[in-house]
Amino acid sequence: MSTLTVSLVQYDIQWLSPEHNFKKIERLTAQLQPCDLLLLPETFATGFALKEQTAEFADPALTFMRALAAQHNCVVAGSVLVSEGDKKANRFYWCWPPALNEETGRVEYYDKRHLFCLGHEGNYVSAGRDRKVFEIGDFKILPQVCYDLRFPVFQRNRNDYDVMVNVANWPAARRFAWDTLLRARAIENQCYVLANNRIGEDGYGTAHNGGTVALDYLGQSLLQVPDDQTGVITTTLSKEALVQFRTQFPAHLDADDFNLEC
């Protein structure tokens, strides 16, 4: 697969109302173009409900994702708050569609690594430890969640991925940082960046205005959902164009060598 077609969904997540959010996603993706990867925002089923009980919603959210993957014959990815000991994990699930003679496809996940100390996130959520890279066809993809975006060492491309994905509930008050850091990650890592954010006000009164975008390896926008609007964008990434750019401008050959310990 020399191309990767991706769809990103932006909407106002109804607080602690999974069924409402599932129906909204179904409506938005009813006429979805054929794609390889469908991205949903961080905590797409409940909103970023750190302090509330969300364990009962985790299994239905995963079941919904697996059904959506089967329906559209693509990988469906989005984060869910799941029980992890006496806390939660912000688990970024990747659900593959069923292969021939399978009822359900495989599921992998990445747990959000970086927790927002100013919001006391660590009081409710356990930090993930593993940096993971998933593969769809010829594309290697680094999954990240929201606040991870601020930590470039963890995201440093060691020639091990082609696309960085970040799903978020990133506040409107810090939108400038979101836009700037996404472009920086694309440029410094010579990779595509797919970023998926929500709109609307959450249960804590925090406003979000979107910024869902697909960027190329130059940090240039390929497509973006308009601010404060519900919508779906679909774009196709070229592996050939990425390899050609890296060959012509091989900045990665001058990068510092280091080991990452989590």
Query: Could you list the pLDDT tens digit for every one of the 262 residues in the chain?
Result: 699 999 999 999 999 999 999 999 999 999 999 999 999 999 999 999 999 999 999 999 999 999 999 999 999 999 999 999 999 999 999 999 998 778 889 999 999 999 999 889 999 999 999 999 999 999 999 999 999 999 999 999 999 999 999 999 999 999 999 999 999 999 999 999 999 999 999 999 999 999 999 999 999 999 999 999 999 999 999 999 999 999 999 998 888 887 777 6
Question: What's the chain look like in SS3?
Answer: CCEEEEEEEECECCCCCHHHHHHHHHHHCCCCCCCCEEECCCCCCCCCCCCCCCHHHHHHHHHHHHHHHHHHCCEEEEEEEEEECCEEEEEEEEECCCCCCCCCCCEEEEECCCCCHHHCHHHCECCCCCCCCEEECCEEEEEEEHHHHHCHHHHCCCCCCCEEEEECCCCHHHHHHHHHHHHHHHHHHCCEEEEECCEEECCCCCEEECCCEEECCCCCEEEECCCCCCEEEEEEEEHHHHHHHHHHCCHHHHCCCCCCCC
pLDDT tens profile 43-59:
999 999 999 999 999 99
Residue 260 lies in a domain: no
Residue 213 lies in a domain: yes
CA distance 179 to 239: 24
What is the tally of structural domains in the chain?
1
Q: 199 lies in which domain range?
A: 3-254
Per-residue confidence (pLDDT) for residue 1, from 0 to 100: 61
Residue 262 lies in a domain: no
Per-residue confidence (pLDDT) for residue 201, from 0 to 100: 98
Residue 12 lies in a domain: yes
pLDDT tens profile 57-86:
999 999 999 999 999 999 999 999 999 999
**Predicted TM-score (pTM) above 0.75:** yes
Residue 261 lies in a domain: no
Give yes or no for a contact between 208 and 200, defined as CB atoms under 8 angstroms apart. yes
* CATH code of the domain in which 131 resides: 3.60.110.10
Residue 156 lies in a domain: yes
Per-residue confidence (pLDDT) for residue 258, from 0 to 100: 77
Residue 202 lies in a domain: yes
CA distance 143 to 150: 14
CA distance 64 to 76: 10
Residues with catalytic roles: 42, 112, 146
When computed from its CA atoms, the radius of gyration of the chain, rounded to whole angstroms, is 17
The tokens describing 95, both together, are: 């659900």
Residue 39 lies in a domain: yes
Per-residue confidence (pLDDT) for residue 262, from 0 to 100: 66
Strand pairing report for 75-84 and 37-39: parallel
Per-residue confidence (pLDDT) for residue 66, from 0 to 100: 97
